[in-house]
A and B are shown apart, each in its own frame.
Chain A
Amino acid sequence: MPVFPVAGSEKFANQPASREETLRAVGDSVRLHDVDHAVVDALDPLTYEVVRHRLTSITEEMGEALKRMSGSVVVTDCNDFDAAIMDEVGDVVQVGLYNTELAASLDMAANWTLRNRSRGRGINPGDMFLCNDPWVGGGLHQNDTSLFAPLFVDGELFCWTGAVAHQVDLGGASPGSWSVGATDVFWESLPTPPVKIVEAGEIREDIEDVWLRRSRVPKLVALDLRAKIGANNVAHERLRALCEKYGAGVVKAVMRRTMDDAESRLRAKLRELPDGSWTSVAHQDSARAGDRGIYKIVLKLTKDGDKLVFDFTGTDPQVDGLINCTFAGLRGGIMPVLLTMLCGDLPWAPGGIYRCIEIISEPGTINNCTFPSGIGKASVASAWATTNVATECLAGMLDTHPEHRKRLMSVCCGTWDFALLAGVDQRGGGFVTMLCDSMAGGLGARSDSDGVDTGGLACIPMGRVADVEMNEFAFPMLYLWRREEPDSGGPGRFRGGVGASSCFVPHDSPIGGVHLVVSAPGKALPLASGLSGGLPAGTQHDVLLRGTDVAAQFAAGRIPGSLTDLAGDADLLPAHHETDLGPDDVYYTHWQGGGGYGDPLLRAPAAVASDLRAHKVSQGGAEEVYGVVFGADGVVDEAATTTRRAALRRTRAGLDTEEVTA
């Protein structure tokens, strides 16, 4: 059934509001703390740096508190969470180094809450608001649940703190809330607009019950709720001490200046770059199980003086499926690359950074969808594709500058390779888990060096993969391998980082198999594009081999080293799929690398030889794509390479072989 407009949903179609609008909406129902510009101007370097450093360490402490307490492997292992300190209207002063997509939309949620929750029950000391409504903000899909808390000092709302983390399951048609068949949001987890779940320091039990009732793992979600309460409490305690020591006015002035500093330094950096515009496109194949479409997000980035305009005109309309994202997802998709490529040496203060950018986007498009479009995998679908297209445009801009080009990356691992396993473990307990192996995606090539092999994802500076042994201990599976995949890094003068693959068979399961949900596009076409002529990274590749002879091979003393070593019926899986694995079924999932940089025929032959030795490229890849020829001893044949490259230049351009289009 196609998406139809839902009357009453407009209230939640949040857009960032100006300070003035916010103040008007709040009126005199909540007193907001403010500080005079004079205090900001009068800050001495000592106080500024001491308090700024402390705000950073408080954000870190929040993240640590959340991570240690959480029970979700997505949080503890994959760092799919973040924490932030915001000012009194929600502008983000400091974001943690975890999943930066998430924290980038906390401002919208806190601000919406101010505008819509100040009256009635009101906003009071000791309150905390929970939200998993991506139309409001605070997360990119419903699994991202935020909890944000106003801090009052002397009766005034001084600032907000917020924590957000991916919850393993919040209901919906499929386990993990990953409903691969979804056509709209009603198949998925129910979005919850900001609700006061903690009042005057106490959890409201009735609200908590409403919240937990929807989940397949309510106890785990309850634990994560407490982890977020703990994170906010830690921050409040330390912020109060900071205000006592330096005065609330000074602390607020430091917050203002941190954002001002990020803004002014980013503007200064932008002024050093030439004006211009860069246009690109990011694709996604398949919007839901059974869908064979390809969808695009188009971005024209215009840089004018010290300002960036992100214009998404030309992007496809929202689709029936689970891949759309809301405006919060679009913004969240832009922020990670702004931070890593432009702000590596600036304070991570999105409140200041957002002031340098303008976004043009049509509601009703795939990355600015309206209710009730499906957004179940928004974070790794349209928000991720937004990151991809923003990466390419920003990298193009940076490439014009001799110094700033050192901080560009081609598009990193083009999508999230989602594989959810559920069933009964070897100890007889039920389990639902997301296999996080694909955190080890390849990073995009740089303008002066290769991308990092199995180096992570663009939006999470500090990802992690669990050891094979931990996965085999926790879940009923046995790995045939986990390895880097040759050729998966985008070819280029500088090669994109390679991705990797895992291949496993159910093992020791009391019910003889496991349930599998697959959601991984990038199969019809690669998603991590290259730069300056560099080629895209490889495609996503998932194969299910049914009824293999793996047990017989084990018994014969052999470990199959590739899919071709196994007998069985190969099923090339589509982007979205839900199925069961039997005891002799082997699942192979191969995730993507990063895009390349520059013409691969310009890559130093010695680097290709070294890649071949380290299995980063195959012999075929080295010869066909890089044009490097090796002698019998494996050493580069320089003369033959020169000849081969000269020939390849002509054949790949269509000379000597066929008619050429101009």
Chain B
Amino acid sequence: MAYVIGIDIGGTFTDAFVADESGKVAGTKTPSTPPDFSEGFLTVLDELAATLGVGTGALLADTHYIVHGTTSTLNALVTGDVATVGFLTTRGHADSIAIMNLEGRYAGLGADQVQDMVRTDKPKPLVPPELVRELDERIDHKGAVIVELDEEGTRMAIRELVSAGAQAIAVSLLWSFRNPAHEQRVGELVVEEAPGAYVALSSDVSPRIREYARSATTIMNTQVGPRLRDYLRPLEVELRSRGFQGSLLVMQGSGGCVDSSDAPSRAITTIGSVLTGGVVGCTRLAAELGHRNVISTDMGGTTFLAGLVVDGEPVSTTSTVLNQYQLNVPMVDVRTIGAGGGAIAWVDNGGNLHVGPRSAGARPGPACYGDGGTEPTVTDVDLLLGIVNPDNFLGGRKQLSKELAAEAVRMHIAEPLGLSVDDACAAIYAIQNAQTADLVRKVVVTSGHDPRDFVLYAYGGAGPMHCVSYAADLEVSEVIVPLGPTAAVFSAYGLAASDIVLTVELSSPTNFPPEPAEFNGAFFQLRAELEDRLAAQRLRFADVEYRSEADLRYTMQLAEVATPVPTGDLDAAGLDGVGTAFGQRYEQLYGKGSGFAEAGLQLITYRTQAVGVLPIRPKLGEVGRSEGDAQPTSRRRVFLDARRGWQEADIYDYRVLAAGHELKGPAVVEAPTTTVALPEGSVGRVDRLGNLVIRYTQA
């Protein structure tokens, strides 16, 4: 039997999912074990083996590959527990990472924080000034050498950085992506002057125009690369000692994975590792269910994540913001749009009720946890509205206190506003849902789409409690709550179902169209680089797909749009076709008539992605068919819709439901990992894979 395994390590839980070729699947979860996350990794493997009824050694011996989603890179950057990096850059431009294009003062902040401008600040410098050196050298926009590299000065700078404590060296010179010769020479000099030091060149890590983001990306990559290397190496040794002969793969933010030996040199690509598993899971499930366009909403205890699948592919972005720094990391576009169940409800000094964006976080968490939280959160309200069963939270793992929740709502909301606790809860629930609709809408609209063309998937502990309400507001056609055997470990399922994805890019800004030979040559170079890297992955692929795109823009306009480029060499007519495709995509994104074609086009960056399709694709097993109608296990008073108030609702136990069962709102479905709220006017049907498919008859 051949197995594939997905292991997703989050801050709180380590989830695992296993599938074999026959369609048998299993999942399990265990607490994460910071700071040494590998402990939890090994524990969850034991538990997974036990679930399958085999020994860990037997399981590992038959496992072709393990796909690992890790929060360690992201955590290291957020907490600052990173390698000490020395930074080398072009003379006159060291301050680029301090000026941060000035946007570093507010990048990634919410509107409420931006508005409170007096209290905004830039983050701590990426590299302290004593670890930065400028080099005499200069290359211009054409890649021409204007000033030769001062090698003696460079050697001295490297020695100075090492004696100032640098453990690793990041190099980012102006226009290095056009002509990497100086950077490569600096890299050689680092090897000579500081043998053994980890060194990263911006022309390798991120050969893209715009020096601020390129430098920040290279520096952060250098900060986490050595750490990731030191985490993966012993882990792999440990797995080998237990009988594992397959590949250990690491999930990247791009939604695809990479071999663990390749990961550390491009460590920064793993920062979205844990965020993207869910969207990949949605993509795979959507393929099974025949959904082309999906809004993925993952509402957990502390965050609300939204992503999109369009035409069967996750929507990606070419950059992201971390700690207010702009980074060039091609990744699935997963946006954090709220605080999830931890969002705090509060009354401002004008007597107006708000929900979020402040969060109770994991500590102290909602008031009902009894861990010291006194402010009311959305989770407290879900409890008081009868949606959450206090005895069945996280499958009964955590007992919730209605009294503490009610006290928090009474003190902070009900009394100040002169409302009953019930009415206060109803208002908080409705505000949370309406705001979610506003924020999800923004994600969809700014990607150039209309929410009415989408199906909405809702998962995470809290998502299904709210999804019908915000989905109706968005006018999506249908809501899917994934509830089959994958439900508890949906992200881990996504990992196990992923492929190898490698992305390479190169900026070479020019007026568009360039000569076909120049255009084809650029993609030829990228393809050759990808072929080398694929060969280094130590895997046999079922198939390899290449996708190319070019970032084009109208000369006067800011927005570059990644435009698909057909495979194979293009002639002048082919290039015109790319230009036309750009124009169409631009209009789709920014509206009809929005392109300033008269100004001409420019091509900024070439990019190619290789997808190495892995041989085993986990199949989801079907659940049993129903005989007869679904039987509620109980009834209780719930509040699901402000217009209808409190109602008696049927309560269903998901574990006794079967395919074909139809559940009419108002109703609540209690599953081991979540609770689904079905307001009046909505109908949920259990599909053949055990998912709940919800439609509503009115908004």
Interface residues of A (CB under 8 A from B): 44-46, 48-50, 52-54, 56-57, 60-61, 64-65, 67-73, 76-77, 97, 219-220, 223, 226-227, 230, 261, 264-265, 268, 339-341, 343-346, 348, 406-409, 426-427, 429, 439-440, 446, 449, 452-456, 461-470, 472-473, 478-484, 500, 503, 507-508, 554, 557-559, 561, 613-615
In the bound complex, CA of A220 to CA of B143 (Å) = 31
Tell me, yes or no, whether B594 is within 8 Å of chain A by CB.
Answer: yes
A71 touching B599 by the CB < 8 A rule? Answer: yes
Residues of B with C-beta under 8 A to A462: 103, 106, 114
A407 touching B118 by the CB < 8 A rule? Answer: yes
B138: contacting residue among A45, A227, A559, CB under 8 A: A559
Residues of A with C-beta under 8 A to B100: 454
Residues of B with C-beta under 8 A to A223: 556, 594, 596
Q: How far in angstroms is the closest Cβ of chain B from A643?
A: 28
Residues of B with C-beta under 8 A to A60: 111, 442
Would you mind naming 25 contact pairs between A and B with Cβ atoms under 8 Å apart?
Answer: A44-B427, A45-B419, A49-B431, A60-B111, A61-B442, A67-B558, A68-B594, A69-B591, A71-B554, A71-B556, A340-B118, A344-B119, A348-B115, A452-B121, A455-B120, A467-B209, A468-B93, A481-B91, A481-B92, A483-B94, A557-B148, A557-B150, A559-B138, A613-B128, A614-B125
Q: Which residue of A lies closest to B599 (CB)?
A: A71
In the bound complex, CA of A317 to CA of B45 (Å) = 81
Tell me, yes or no, whether B420 is within 8 Å of chain A by CB.
Answer: no
Tell me, yes or no, whether B122 is within 8 Å of chain A by CB.
Answer: yes
Residues of A with C-beta under 8 A to B655: none
Q: How far in angstroms is the closest Cβ of chain B from A457?
A: 9
A50: contacting residue among B426, B431, B598, CB under 8 A: B431
In the bound complex, CA of A261 to CA of B419 (Å) = 19
Tell me, yes or no, whether B184 is within 8 Å of chain A by CB.
Answer: no
B105: contacting residue among A346, A452, A472, CB under 8 A: A452
* Across the A-B interface, the 5 shortest Cβ-Cβ residue pairs: A481-B92, A76-B558, A344-B116, A46-B427, A71-B556
A68 touching B559 by the CB < 8 A rule? Answer: yes
A-facing residues in B88-121 (Cβ within 8 Å): 90-96, 98-103, 105-106, 111, 114-121
Tell me, yes or no, whether B82 is within 8 Å of chain A by CB.
Answer: no
Q: How far in angstroms is the closest Cβ of chain A from B420?
A: 12
A465 touching B101 by the CB < 8 A rule? Answer: yes
Residues of B with C-beta under 8 A to A61: 442, 445
In the bound complex, CA of A613 to CA of B131 (Å) = 11
Q: Which residue of B lies closest to A454 (CB)?
A: B99
A53 touching B434 by the CB < 8 A rule? Answer: yes
Q: How far in angstroms is the closest Cβ of chain A from B441?
A: 7
Q: How far in angstroms is the closest Cβ of chain A from B65?
A: 40
B434 touching A455 by the CB < 8 A rule? Answer: no
A478 touching B103 by the CB < 8 A rule? Answer: no
In the bound complex, CA of A456 to CA of B426 (Å) = 42
A70 touching B557 by the CB < 8 A rule? Answer: yes
Q: How far in angstroms is the closest Cβ of chain A from B91?
A: 4
B354 touching A439 by the CB < 8 A rule? Answer: no
A-facing residues in B347-372 (Cβ within 8 Å): 348-350, 352-355
A45 and B102 in contact, given A72-B556, A340-B118 (Cβ under 8 angstroms): no
A-facing residues in B250-303 (Cβ within 8 Å): none
Tell me, yes or no, whether B600 is within 8 Å of chain A by CB.
Answer: yes
Residues of A with C-beta under 8 A to B13: none
Tell me, yes or no, whether B593 is within 8 Å of chain A by CB.
Answer: yes
Q: Which residue of A lies closest to B130 (CB)?
A: A613
A340 and B434 in contact, given A57-B441, A68-B589, A452-B105 (Cβ under 8 angstroms): no
A470 and B122 in contact, given A97-B111, A345-B348, A461-B117 (Cβ under 8 angstroms): no
A265 touching B138 by the CB < 8 A rule? Answer: no
B212 touching A614 by the CB < 8 A rule? Answer: no
Residues of B with C-beta under 8 A to A48: 352-353
In the bound complex, CA of A227 to CA of B559 (Å) = 14
Q: How far in angstroms is the closest Cβ of chain B from A92?
A: 15
A46 touching B210 by the CB < 8 A rule? Answer: no
A467 touching B438 by the CB < 8 A rule? Answer: no
A-facing residues in B208-253 (Cβ within 8 Å): 209-213
Q: How far in angstroms is the closest Cβ of chain B from A250?
A: 14
Residues of B with C-beta under 8 A to A50: 430-431, 434-435
A467 and B101 in contact, given A345-B116, A507-B140 (Cβ under 8 angstroms): yes
A482: contacting residue among B92, B130, B557, B590, CB under 8 A: B92
In the bound complex, CA of A50 to CA of B589 (Å) = 27
B558 touching A73 by the CB < 8 A rule? Answer: yes
